[in-house]
Amino acid sequence: MERALFAALILVSTLALVALLIAILKSRLLRRGMVSKSLQLQLFKIQLPRLLQEEGEKISTAEIREKISLMEQFYSQLANIKVSGLKSILYGPLFFALEMAVPNNEKELHFYVAVPRRYAPSAEKTIHGIYADAHIEPCKDYNIFSPDSEVAAANIKSKHRYFPIKNYNNLESDPLSSLITAFSKVGDHKEGLAIQLILQPASSSVASHLSKVLSNLRKGKSLKEAEAHAKKNDNLISAPQKEEDKQKEKASFGPTDEKLIESFQKKSSKNIFTTNIRAFASAATQERADSLLQEITTPFTQFANGDVNSIVAKSQTGRQKQRLAYEFSFRLPSNLNQSYLSTEELASIFHLPNTFLSVPHLATTKAKLAPAPSNLPREGLLLGLNNYRGVESEVRMSEKDRARHFYVIGQTGTGKSVFLQNLIIQDIQAGKGVCFIDPHGDGVEEILTQIPLERIKDVVYFNPSDIDRPMGMNLLEYDPKFPEHKTFIINELLEIFNKLYDMKTAGGPMFEQYFRNATALVMDDPESGNTLLEINRIFVDKAFRDLKLSKTTNPLVKTFWREVAEKAGGEASLQNIVPYISSKFDSFLSNEIMRPIVSQEKSSFRMREIMDQQKILLVNLSKGRLGELNSSLIGLIIVGKILMAAFSRADLSQEERKPFYLYIDEFQNVTTNTIETILSEARKYQLNLTVAHQFIDQLSEEIRKGVFGNVGSIAAFRVGTEDGEFLEKQFSPVFSRRDLINIDNFNCYLRMLINGQTAPAFS
């Protein structure tokens, strides 16, 4: 008998030891599996646009609750991801992490979601499906700790694991608001804060337990008794209840209990997650870290559901804090400090900031993104890349659509000039004819460094500030085969002087009359002098004027000077007009930079030849070297010469007119009100414009109408508030004023032609 008992004891001990070893092995496998899984999590940073409440606008509680409820959809999708079989038994169920954190060296609060890599694309699509404007970016892990910082940590859990807490449907405002405000208390760069939620879809036993509690509540049992009965699976007989206690229960069973039943019923109808919530604070001193931890854990008190349940934070110290930091860093679930929370309760604690939160230091998307059209050209000028929801596509503009011209606007420093340079370099590398008029000079100098060797001989570099080797530029020069160009030149010169000196206001019809006849007189006989210098001589040198009059065959011009100008009296007399007009010429004819350029009879290069032979004309109009007036005058002359050369292509068939690409930065300084004519007519002669500038107020009303009435494609980098309002109608309904004034540097919005049709705007 003793031997049998001894053998049985040995057997039981062996079985117990084996069971213990199996439990230890399973625990280690589970722990190792959890760590392995944590290393396979894909971390996403998620940002939403900040919703701004307009002055006087009232946001209803119902609207706030509706926005918060969107997060429930995301949690429900996570609950549907399940792993079964041996892997689940050995390595535990899937888990996910949701975090809000202010990393050290930052001030802004960021939202993160971590999911297993194999489910990352699905999770990303789910978030985009729920939050259409969300910007989701795979990112490296962040760090809230500094090497010399002190750390405070806390476990946050519901007082009772199963019972319902107060949720957003029981609160009048967004519960996230007070939490985000607490995060704004972060001070210097050594401080960091984080709240982490680790979620695992709860087992069916949790839902079963809630159902049993609910069933017992419906039978009139107290909450405590309903819970006790549920734990005993309603099979064990509980201790007899005193009659006095029964009467108290019946007396207390009323409307409050009905609400309690309703809250249990609602929770049991939702997906449930086993949840670990952790809070960490890092600061230079322990006292400061503890204070910050207190700030971010206090808002959890708002979820207290009367005497039923509440959320409490328990600070950790010593080895417990070290263990919690390990679990936090690896995003590991823990069997300790668990709460069973429904999707509704989780959405209350953690949802993306999509309500009208007037809180500081919240990282938000500055501007909206939009996908490129599916029918983008596969060939043509590469404008950039459209990156939308992880899909990257090249954005190109076809030669046909470029002929309708391209308008670019953006504040200084937004990447506008670099954008132009990239386009120009592409055209140069493709062997195209190009002209770039640069008011700064830096862009031209950068392009010069990137000219391919095979195109070096095609380059014409016009630098007016090089006074040792001045290149001539004569606007009055024209091809006698095109006598109509004389009228164009006179009109363009008049527009130039109107632009530089506002002569329509200051000079009126009298100035125009004298100026037209003086210019026509000079141009009638180019051999005796045909530059801006000679126009001035017409007024101040009678002998020269008489010489010109003897050469002209234009009776109208001759009559004006013989019968009108020389015989006029009073204010209209020639003696009164001469000082007024000649003073306008003196400002640049007496300039050592300008005089050698505009006084040469023959231009140093022929614009028509540059266009037809696909050469490269780079014009350095650096305002710092030339001065603003001189820079504008030369630019205006060059644009006029280019346009005149383009019009002279009328002697070529359409097929013979090779495309020529004119780029003008700060174009408002070098174009007159005839820009509408340029934009509407130039494309017939294969002159394709790309014009850029900083803000719309730089344009006169006439130029503004000419541009927006004729350009086919528009690129908008970040602009100011007033320009945002103006451009909104060009980019709506896809982008708003807010987007236009907040888009990041080196990004732009495009409204472009595709096969001659205006496509929806995109980023």
3-state secondary structure 230-267: HHCCCCCCCCCCCHHHHHHHHHHCCHHHHHHHHHHHHH
In sign, the C-alpha dihedral spanning 582, 585, 587, 590 is: negative
What pLDDT does residue 252 have? 43
In sign, the C-alpha dihedral spanning 104, 106, 111, 112 is: negative
- What one-character DSSP code corresponds to residue 108? S
What pLDDT does residue 468 have? 81
With 60 as the cut, is the pLDDT of residue 595 above it?
yes
What pLDDT does residue 235 have? 46
Q: Find the Cα–Cα–Cα–Cα dihedral 566, 567, 571, 574, rounded to 10°.
A: 10
| Pairwise CA distance, residues 197 & 101, whole Å | 12
| Pairwise CA distance, residues 404 & 757, whole Å | 11
With 80 as the cut, is the pLDDT of residue 228 above it?
no
What pLDDT does residue 592 have? 80
| Pairwise CA distance, residues 100 & 111, whole Å | 5
Q: Does residue 80 fall inside a structural domain?
A: yes
| Pairwise CA distance, residues 386 & 393, whole Å | 5
742: left (phi over 0), alpha (psi -120 to 50) or beta: alpha
Q: Does residue 627 fall inside a structural domain?
A: no
Tokens 């080196």 sit on residue: 746
Residue type, 537: R
Structure tokens at 497: 């002087």
More confident of the two residues 35 and 340:
340
Q: Does residue 751 fall inside a structural domain?
A: no
Tokens 């890349």 sit on residue: 385
What pLDDT does residue 4 have? 67
Average pLDDT of the segment spanning 181-201: 89
> 293: domain range?
28-51+59-237+254-349
**How many other C-beta atoms lie within 10 A of the C-beta of residue 653?**
7
More confident of the two residues 468 and 159:
159
With 70 as the cut, is the pLDDT of residue 1 above it?
no
Q: Which of 514, 479, 463 is nearest to 493 (CA)?
A: 514
Give 713-755 pLDDT, tens digit per residue: 999 999 999 999 999 999 999 998 989 998 989 999 999 999 9
Based on the fold, state whether residues 482 and 341 are members of the same structural domain: no
Structure tokens at 583: 């003073």
With 70 as the cut, is the pLDDT of residue 221 above it?
yes
Q: Does residue 93 fall inside a structural domain?
A: yes
Band of the pLDDT at 507, cuts 50, 70, 90?
low
Q: Does residue 400 fall inside a structural domain?
A: no
The residue out of 320, 349, 378 marking a domain boundary is 349
What pLDDT does residue 546 have? 87
Q: Does residue 580 fall inside a structural domain?
A: yes
Does the predicted model carry a pTM greater than 0.85? no
More confident of the two residues 431 and 601:
431
Question: For a pLDDT cut of 70, what percent of the chain falls above it?
Answer: 88
| Pairwise CA distance, residues 111 & 119, whole Å | 19
What pLDDT does residue 253 have? 41
Q: Does residue 447 fall inside a structural domain?
A: no
C-alpha separations of 236 from 216, 351, 365 in Å: 14, 41, 57
What pLDDT does residue 473 have? 84
Based on the fold, state whether residues 343 and 478 are members of the same structural domain: no
Band of the pLDDT at 512, cuts 50, 70, 90?
confident
Among 43-57, 103-117, 319-333, 340-354, which stretch is predicted with the lowest mean pLDDT?
43-57
Band of the pLDDT at 240, cuts 50, 70, 90?
very low
At residue 355, φ and ψ (nearest 5 deg) are -100, 180
The residue out of 282, 316, 349 marking a domain boundary is 349
| Pairwise CA distance, residues 643 & 660, whole Å | 11
With 80 as the cut, is the pLDDT of residue 525 above it?
yes
Among 380-384, 486-490, 610-614, 714-718, which stretch is predicted with the lowest mean pLDDT?
486-490
More confident of the two residues 236 and 87:
87
More confident of the two residues 445 and 54:
445
Average pLDDT of the segment spanning 130-135: 88
Highest mean pLDDT of the ranges 83-97, 398-412, 460-474? 398-412
Based on the fold, state whether residues 344 and 478 are members of the same structural domain: no
C-alpha separations of 74 from 21, 118, 122, 350, 356 in Å: 40, 17, 11, 11, 20
Band of the pLDDT at 352, cuts 50, 70, 90?
very high
What pLDDT does residue 629 have? 84
DSSP SS3 for 106: coil
Band of the pLDDT at 86, cuts 50, 70, 90?
low
Average pLDDT of the segment spanning 308-320: 92
Based on the fold, state whether residues 304 and 166 are members of the same structural domain: yes
Q: What is the mean pLDDT of the chain?
A: 84
More confident of the two residues 448 and 93:
448
What pLDDT does residue 533 have? 85
More confident of the two residues 527 and 569:
527
The residue out of 535, 570, 602 marking a domain boundary is 602
With 80 as the cut, is the pLDDT of residue 193 above it?
yes
Q: Does residue 389 fall inside a structural domain?
A: no
What pLDDT does residue 236 have? 45
Q: Which of 122, 182, 108, 114 is nearest to 365 (CA)?
A: 108
Average pLDDT of the segment spanning 576-600: 78
Average pLDDT of the segment spanning 29-50: 77
Number of domains within the chain? 2
Residue type, 410: G
Structure tokens at 360: 């500081």
Tokens 């014409």 sit on residue: 460
Q: Find the Cα–Cα–Cα–Cα dihedral 693, 694, 695, 701, rounded to 10°.
A: -20
Band of the pLDDT at 87, cuts 50, 70, 90?
low
With 80 as the cut, is the pLDDT of residue 695 above it?
yes
Based on the fold, state whether residues 187 and 333 are members of the same structural domain: yes
What pLDDT does residue 487 have? 85
What pLDDT does residue 6 have? 61
Average pLDDT of the segment spanning 362-388: 89
| Pairwise CA distance, residues 581 & 537, whole Å | 11
| Pairwise CA distance, residues 591 & 621, whole Å | 15
Q: DSSP letter string over 659-709?
A: -EEEEEETGGGT--TTHHHHHHHGGGGTEEEEEEES-GGGS-HHHHHHHHT
The answer to whether the CB of 536 falls within 8 A of the CB of 582 is: yes
User: Which residues have C-beta within 8 Å of that of residue 468, sequence separation ≥ 6?
Assistant: none
